[in-house]
Structures are given as C-alpha cells and as structure tokens.
C-alpha cells in the first residue's frame, strides 16, 4: 500500500501499541486531537487511552529522563523529543544516564526506549528547529541511531526500534514526512546495521542517510542519463553502521562521495571518509568527497537555507570531479 | 501527628541498617585512606536515619534513585554488603562488574536504580519508575534522593512538575545537609520543602536525625503514593559529618560549630534513647553489632581476594545486541 512516512510512522505506532501493552507514547502534544505538529500520533489516544498516550509539560529532561526510568523498570516507552534541537535541554539524561545504564550497572539494566525526534533543514524553521545533530548522538556508546529515508524503511525500522531492548533514537526528517512509497502490509521489521543499496551501479559509490539518501538517488538518476553508473547506499542506521556494505561497494567502484546534511566537522561524512581511508585505501582511485552542510547554523531565510543543505547539483558536481580525478 | 508503633522486628532492622551503614563507611574510610580503594567516595555519616526510615517499608518492587552519596541508600534498600564492597573496589563480581564503582552503583534486583554522579540526575529517572508503577497499577512507589545542592537543578523542578501533572506515586526525599559540596546553603531550613510544595504536593520538613519522625513522615508519603494520592516531598534536615568527599578537610566549616553539630545530629544514640526503641534489648544490640562487624570483615576479606575484571570486559554490556564495531 502506498503511504507517506508520516502515515507509516502513525500506522507502526498503532500496530506496536496494539501488540504490546507495555508500549506507551509520551511527549508534548502527543495526545492532542491533532496528534502533534505533524499529526504523527493522531488517533492513538482514542484507541489506547490517555494513560498510554501521555501529554507532558514542555520539560524535555523530564520527558526523556522519565521515559528512560520507565524503560529501566519494565515499560517500552516511545518518547517524542519534538525537535532534535531540544537535545540541548535534555542531553544529560541521554548522554550520562540512559546511554550508560547497561554498562555502568554491569549488564543489569535493560532500557527498551525509543526517542522519536524531528531533524533537518528545508522548511524555513531556522537555527533552533532545523539541525541534524545525529553525528553527536551516533558518537555516544550505548544508544542506537536510526535515520529512515522512505516510508517502508520508516515502518520497518521503527518496528525494530520499539522491539529492541537498547535505547534507540529515531530521527525523522521533517522535509520527508509527506514522501510516499509502497509500504509492506502487516508486520514488517528491518534489521539494524544493514544499509540499503538503493541504486546498483559500478562507476562510483554515493553514500547518503535520511534526506541525503533521497538526494543521492535523485543525483544517480540524472547521472544515469549522462551515462554514469552510480551506486547509492542509504545507511538506514548510523549506529550501528554497516561498514561492510560501504567497503564492498567502494571495492567495486573505487570512488566515493558521501552526502550528509550534518555540519562538516565530526560529521557522518567524516566518519565514512575515515573508514575508507583506513580500510578501503587500496581500493580508492580518487580522493573521497564529502558533501555536507557548511560550518554555520541553519539560516531561516529560504534563499540561504537552499544553499545550506546538500543539493543534487552539488552531488553531481562532486561526482564529476571525483570521476575526472 | 500520629506516631506509629513499630514492631520489634522492624526496630531490629532499623537499628541494624543504620549501624551497618555507619560501620561499613567507617571501615571504607579507613581502607580508602590507606589507598586500598579506587576513585572518589562520599560518606553518609549522620544521615543514616533518612535512608533507613525511607526504605524500611519498601519492597524490592519499589524503586529508589540515589545520589553520589549513595552507600547508605544501597544498604537501606537491601543491597548485599559483600556485593557492594566488591563493586566499590571495582572487582569483577561486584554488583556492576566493577564498571560502576561508588558513584554509579546499582542493584536492579532490589529496585535500586543507581547512585548518580550527576547532581540532579536521578529525579527524572525516579519519575519514570513511578510512571511504570502508575501505568501497571501495581501499588509500587518510587523515591528520588536529592541533596540540598541538587534541589536547585532544573531537572528536579521538571520532575516535581511532572510528578504533580501526572499524579505519580513518587516521593522527593530531600536530604538537606546544608552544604552543597564546599558551599554553605544560603537557604534557611524549610525553603526546599516550601519550593516543592509550591508545585502542588504535600511537603513537610522533618528532623533528619530523628529516625522515628522520619519513619512517620515516610509512611505517610509511601501510603499516599500506594493509594494513588500522588507525590510527596520531605525535607530531611541533617548534618554532613565529613567533607563532601573523603579527603576533603572541610576547612570552609567553622570547627566549633561542626563539632557541636556532629554531637547533636548523630541519629543512632538518639534512636536508642527514644522510648519507642525501648523494646530493643542490650543483648540484641550487642548481637547485631557483632554480626555487622563480622559481615564487614568477611566482605573485605572476599573483596581483597577477588579478581579484577578481565580485559575483554571493556567491551561487554554496552548494548544488549549490536551489529556494529565497538573497537
């Protein structure tokens, strides 16, 4: 059935709440009639009641921390951190508490928690509502970071996230919510740590994640018309990271462009370039190219924001440069 | 206020637990001063009545979230002395396999959700445990221990508010020892309870050196939580006998005042002098004392003979399942 990412997430939440009564949803506005800013939780309170779909005050440390404490003691909460930018007011609970429970308690703890959060630029929401921040999260041992790029993956990965016994941060790109594709009916799970080869190719490897996977696919389609065979890899999960799919593709193509909406320093693009340098050096026929956002905040004005995010044109130019090296 | 009578068995437990905390920590200090234990330790002396009164009517299904000064909370919640010592010495068989140590010690089987090296880190977690109890409707309660220093953290305010909004079965157990690390509290006693009460929950100030007053207050709070009456705050006013951490000489405290506070705030002689403890015989006290010392001796013996974690343990228990690289 064809549906949007928004609908796929909504359907998955319905399915998992019906399947397991330990699954609860909590966050700001999640129990409102509108189902939050983008209607993601629409219909849940009517079906499952406000004792399982819980509106909270606007207090992110308490939302995330309580979700962590509830997970530690037997529930399977899905907490909503409305925008990932709000990590700024609850990082301690993620960084020092939730991510470390299992390790610092010597394996006693089980923290089956999902934090759903909106990421990304492209909708004119400016510096404090548009960031990516997933590299910051992927750098923390003890949590997993998931970045679906289409509706089918959103369903498969969210189902896995909710059933996973480790804490998972599920990043939803706000510019992709209305993107539609075919989504499998019924129960659908995708494993973590397995990237998707979105397009098969032989001349060059383009790695993307979340929205940049979509951009990479669009670039590949245009490159195909120019006779360039690009292979596109959508990482799906950043932690765990599917290194072997990247390295295998690189071994085949010899050339690598990584497209990442992060700021450039310590980005996922940097991580993957490092991987290629360390473990794929012999297979490289050209330097790795990193296409990222600049080392600036996200501007609110659409004319500058358009230049901030990686574009199909920038990917095309990077591919051409890499191929002509 | 209604004064509850305490069964003899509970009196024994209360005395045994307070005295165990005292002897355990005094021995810890001595071993630490000889360089035999790693890391930082924070001693709980003279605050024992708070932890013991708070946990005496709890079961393993009730939860506590502790602080960096957490040894007393662990013992009061029922953690085994030997397993604790092994952890504080960071040994493989410690409660947390040596990976937590003093400031992160936890025992999930006892509902002890961890000491916490982040001041104010525990209350949101305790609120989550209370949310579990409320959602499962199992009559359990959850308690956050909070120092007077932590009472100023935003996480504590957020948790107070959430507990009121969601009517969580939660107790905010403030231990006002009047020192936030090296800094004397600028707040008069009672201000912390007043602040908690302003969020819309019952809040009371109790003499934290008076076991029986603490026990009565805790019973009221726990009963309220179990019966769906929502959260309660208790400000236990007490005295920090030693420095912020072991080795802190407390040069910032007036020494005469400190000596006087130490003398009047020791909860153990006060407990024994209370008419409600009259049923406790001298023989049983002597028996309990001897058993405590023997248990601690045995614990240290086992601990010093115990193995350190093997090198491979660096990589275990980061995740339950992870299809990625850890090194």
Cβ separation B318–A69 shorter than 8 A: no
Q: Average the pLDDT over each of A33-37, A225-229, B146-150, B256-260 and give the range with the smallest value.
A: A33-37
Residue A188 lies in a domain: no
- Same domain as A288, residue A219: yes
Q: What is the pLDDT of residue A318?
A: 98
Chain B: residue nearest A191 by CA?
Answer: B323
Q: What percentage of chain B exceeds 70 in pLDDT?
A: 99
| End-of-domain residue from the set A153, A182, A211 | A182
pLDDT in tens, B182-238: 999 989 999 999 999 999 999 999 999 999 999 999 999 999 999 999 999 999 999
Q: Which positions of chain A have pLDDT values less than 70? A: none
pLDDT in tens, B189-199: 999 999 999 99
Domain count across chain A: 2
- Same domain as A228, residue A304: yes
Residue A231 lies in a domain: yes
- Same domain as A250, residue A146: no
Quote the strand ranges of chain A, DSSP E: 2-4, 23-27, 53-55, 76-83, 114-119, 144-146, 168-173, 180-182, 196-199, 204-208, 230-234, 237-239, 256-259, 289-291
Residue A142 lies in a domain: yes
* Nearest by Cα to B194 from B148, B261, B126, B129: B148
Q: What is the pLDDT of residue B316?
A: 97
Q: Is A51 annotated as catalytic?
A: no
Reply yes or no on whether the pLDDT at B3 is more than 70: no
**A 54-73 residues inside an 8 A Cβ radius of B:** 54, 56-57, 59, 61-73
Rounded Cα gap, residues B74 and B113, in angstroms: 10
Chain A with chain B: Cβ pairs closer than 8 A:
174
DSSP strand pairing (A289-291 vs B63-65): unpaired
- Same domain as A178, residue A274: no
Cβ separation B99–A240 shorter than 8 A: no
- Please indicate if any CB of chain A lies within 8 Å of the CB of B132: yes
Rounded Cα gap, residues B205 and A185, in angstroms: 58
Residue B160's pLDDT band, with cuts at 50, 70 and 90, is very high
| End-of-domain residue from the set A128, A148, A182 | A182
Chain B contacts of A64, Cβ < 8 Å?
124
- Minimum-distance CB partner of A240 among B158, B317, B322: B322
Which CATH number do you get for residue A209? 3.40.50.920
- Same domain as A147, residue A22: yes
What crossing angle do the helices spanning A151-163 and A5-19 adopt, rounded to 10°?
A: 30
- Same domain as A313, residue A218: yes
ipTM for the complex shown: 0.96
Q: Give residue limits of the domains in chain B.
A: 8-315
- Same domain as A163, residue A84: yes
- Same domain as A131, residue A12: yes
Average pLDDT score, chain B: 96
* Cβ-based neighbour number of residue A297 at 10 Å: 14
pLDDT in tens, B43-100: 999 999 999 999 999 999 999 999 999 999 999 999 999 999 999 999 999 999 999 9
- Same domain as A294, residue A156: no
Cβ separation A102–B322 shorter than 8 A: no
Residue A191 lies in a domain: no
Superfamily of domain B8-315 in CATH is Thiamin diphosphate (ThDP)-binding fold, Pyr/PP domains (3.40.50.970)
Please confirm whether the linkage preceding A240 is cis (ω < 30° from 0): yes
Chain B: residue nearest A72 by CA?
Answer: B129
| Strand, helix or coil for residue B151 | helix
- Same domain as A201, residue A102: no
| End-of-domain residue from the set A129, A149, A182 | A182
* Structural domain harbouring A107: 2-182
Q: What is the pLDDT of residue A33?
A: 87
Which CATH number do you get for residue A71? 3.40.50.970
Residue A45 lies in a domain: yes
Reply yes or no on whether the pLDDT at B1 is more than 60: no
* Nearest by Cα to A75 from A13, A111, A113, A22: A22
- Same domain as A161, residue A35: yes
Residue A189 lies in a domain: no
- Same domain as A300, residue A218: yes
- Please indicate if any CB of chain A lies within 8 Å of the CB of B104: yes
């Amino acid at each position: 059935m064809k549906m949007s990412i928004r609908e796929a997430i909504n359907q998955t939440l319905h399915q998992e709440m019906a399947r397991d009564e330990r699954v609860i949803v909590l966050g700001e506005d999640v129990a409102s009639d509108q189902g939050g800013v983008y209607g993601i939780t629409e219909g849940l309170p009517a079906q499952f009641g406000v004792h399982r779909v819980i509106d909270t005050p606007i207090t992110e440390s308490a939302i995330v921390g309580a979700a962590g404490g509830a997970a530690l003691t037997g529930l399977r909460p899905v907490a909503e951190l409305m925008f990932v930018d709000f990590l700024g007011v609850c990082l301690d609970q993620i960084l020092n508490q939730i991510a470390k429970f299992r390790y610092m308690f010597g394996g006693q703890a089980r923290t089956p928690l999902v934090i759903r959060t909106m990421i990304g630029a492209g909708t004119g929401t400016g510096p404090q509502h548009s960031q990516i921040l997933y590299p910051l999260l992927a750098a923390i041992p003890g949590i997993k970071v998931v970045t679906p790029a289409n509706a089918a993956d959103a369903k498969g990965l969210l189902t896995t996230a909710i059933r996973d016994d480790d804490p998972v941060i599920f990043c939803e790109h706000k510019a992709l919510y209305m993107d539609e594709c075919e989504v499998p009916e019924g129960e659908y799970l995708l494993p973590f740590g397995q990237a998707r080869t979105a397009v098969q190719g032989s001349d060059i490897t383009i790695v993307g994640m979340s929205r940049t996977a979509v951009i990479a696919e669009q670039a590949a389609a245009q490159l195909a018309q120019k006779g360039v065979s690009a292979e596109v890899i959508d990482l799906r999960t950043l932690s765990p990271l599917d290194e072997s799919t990247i390295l295998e593709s690189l071994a085949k193509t010899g050339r690598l462009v990584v497209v990442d909406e992060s700021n450039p320093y310590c980005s996922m693009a940097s991580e993957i370039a490092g991987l290629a340098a360390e473990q794929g050096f012999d297979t490289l026929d050209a330097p790795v190219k990193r296409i990222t956002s600049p080392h600036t905040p996200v501007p609110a004005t659409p004319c500058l924001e358009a230049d901030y995010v990686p574009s199909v044109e920038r990917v095309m130019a990077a591919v051409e440069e890499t191929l002509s090296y | 206020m209604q004064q509850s009578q305490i069964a003899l068995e509970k009196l024994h437990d209360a005395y045994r637990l307070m005295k165990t905390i005292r002897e355990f920590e005094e021995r810890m200090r001595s071993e630490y001063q000889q360089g035999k234990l790693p890391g930082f330790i924070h001693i709980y002396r003279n605050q024992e009545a708070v932890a013991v009164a708070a946990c005496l009517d709890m079961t393993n299904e009730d939860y506590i979230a502790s602080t960096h000064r957490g040894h007393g909370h662990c013992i009061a919640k029922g953690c085994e002395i030997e397993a604790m010592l092994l952890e504080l010495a960071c040994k493989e068989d410690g409660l947390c396999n040596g990976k937590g140590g003093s400031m992160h010690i936890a025992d999930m089987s006892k509902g002890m959700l961890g000491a916490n090296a982040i001041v104010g880190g525990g209350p949101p977690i305790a609120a989550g445990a209370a949310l579990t109890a409320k959602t499962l409707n199992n009559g359990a309660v959850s308690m956050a221990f909070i120092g007077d220093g932590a009472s100023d953290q935003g996480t504590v305010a957020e948790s107070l508010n959430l507990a009121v909004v969601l009517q969580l079965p939660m107790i905010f157990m403030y231990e006002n020892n009047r020192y936030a690390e090296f800094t004397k509290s600028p707040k008069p006693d009672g201000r912390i309870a007043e602040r908690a009460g302003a969020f819309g929950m019952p809040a009371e100030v109790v003499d934290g050196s008076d076991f029986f007053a603490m026990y009565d207050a805790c019973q009221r709070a726990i009963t309220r939580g179990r019966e769906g009456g929502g959260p309660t705050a208790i400000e236990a006013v007490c005295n920090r006998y030693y420095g912020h951490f072991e080795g802190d000489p407390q040069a910032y405290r007036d020494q005469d005042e400190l000596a006087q506070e130490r003398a009047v705030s020791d909860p153990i002689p006060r407990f024994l002098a209370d008419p409600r403890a009259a049923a406790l015989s001298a023989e049983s006290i002597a028996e309990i004392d001897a058993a405590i010392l023997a248990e601690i001796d045995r614990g240290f013996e086992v601990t010093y003979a115990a193995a350190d974690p093997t090198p491979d343990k660096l990589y275990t228990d980061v995740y339950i399942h992870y299809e990625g690289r850890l090194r």
